[in-house]
Structure 1
């Protein structure tokens, strides 16, 4: 199936309740970078916390690849900034910042296999155990960023350690794929109505100031989220593709 058709179909997946989507337990969100959790799952996190569910976040990379030419924010300072932004963002969503795990793998070089990937998979499985998770959410395996693909692979490695836990993938960068890209069969999965949490989600996204403002102003090559992308991902529903194989 072409990417454009797949994503259009994802936009029409059935709407489901949180119970139907997640099941009875807690949930784990796996984010390749600080900010992916808010972009792809901010409404999910807010809805789960509004019900008192235990939510854990595993951030895979150190986020240091967004501004590689900044003298004001060399890598260690940038990593600290991005982790602080993530804590602020999840607090907006109602989540305890202490329940975020930062794996600090190298941005743009997150491994899909090998001992470091296996260690990351163990961390995901431990987060699932800690919150008695019935579902884990990670970025779509076809997202056109190597770390997003690697995060999906890491969750794939974790699945045998999480029997009975549902796995879903959420697209973040999928809409930037060439439309003719082949991405496999039609999506199966569900959407969650997050319209009640749209303002909270947007506030969480914008808590990542290094990615949404000119906070880091001395790197002309630095990354910045486009408003159109934020608007797309902060719509009334979030899309979750079920992984069953």
Structure 2
């Protein structure tokens, strides 16, 4: 396992399956890149509207809008401007049904601009089917990209977790910033109370999602 080398990077693209995965998987990396003058673009694949399907206060359109705002707020803490956060608004929870043609369409939508020096993707070993489909589509992007990394959000219980190849130590300042950025995602951390079956990030999950070291594999 080795430390990430950020030297010589000018442009990076980070792809998140849902609004908040960019914080969970790569906030510290994004912040470090921005402090090194690297332009970072974040692409969020789904609208995130399936987290609370039965909420009357937050029907799908309102929830999707709230989650976009949360994502922009979290990325602002990482130093990413709002115009560099892009939302593809694919239906949350639908990507696991994508066939090869649909994956190619998703890849075309994710490809914005010239090849970056660094592409950061969800892991193909993630337990969430949306994450695995985004990882599949991401493999089709920018074949000449210099460096490609993957992050894991939801480890699978039926197989070993892929070994960490690269790590990034956040340090106290970036660690506290990451925790504050995750707290921006209030719809996922207790704001919505009228859907007992909706997703609520537990305290244990918040701790797991904001460890002081970010770990990556080669993508």
TM-score greater than 0.5 by the shorter chain: yes
Residues 18 and 44 of structure 2 are in contact (CA less than 8 Å); yes or no, is this contact kept in structure 1? Answer: yes
Do residues 118 (structure 1) and 72 (structure 2) align?
no
Give the one of 186, 189, 192 matched to 1:209.
Answer: 186
Give the one of 188, 191, 202 matched to 2:167.
Answer: 191
Give the one of 20, 30, 33 matched to 2:18.
Answer: 33
In structure 2, distance between residues paired with 1:191 and 1:138: 15
Cα RMSD over matched residues?
1.8
Q: CA separation of 1:16/1:165 partners in 2, compared to 1, >3 Å: closer, same or farther?
A: closer
In structure 2, distance between residues paired with 1:80 and 1:114: 29
5+ long unaligned stretches in structure 1: 1-12
Do residues 172 (structure 1) and 159 (structure 2) align?
no
Counterpart in the other structure of 2:31: 46
Counterpart in the other structure of 1:163: 144
Counterpart in the other structure of 2:204: 228
Question: Which structure has the higher relative contact order (CA within 8 Å, separation 6+)?
Answer: 1
Secondary structure at the residue paired with 1:126? Answer: coil
Counterpart in the other structure of 2:130: 147
1:97-116 → structure 2 map (5 Å cutoff): 97-110=82-95, 112-116=98-102
In structure 2, distance between residues paired with 1:171 and 1:65: 20
Counterpart in the other structure of 1:200: 177
* Structure richer in helix, relative to its length: 1
In structure 2, distance between residues paired with 1:69 and 1:24: 44
Please give the per-residue CA displacement for 1:160-200, whole angstroms capped at 9, x wherever unaligned: x34133221101111xx22x5156xx636311121241011
Question: Normalising by structure 1, what TM-score?
Answer: 0.82
Secondary structure at the residue paired with 2:56? Answer: coil
After the TM superposition, which parts of structure 1 deviate over 3 Å for at least 4 consecutive aligned residues? 111-116
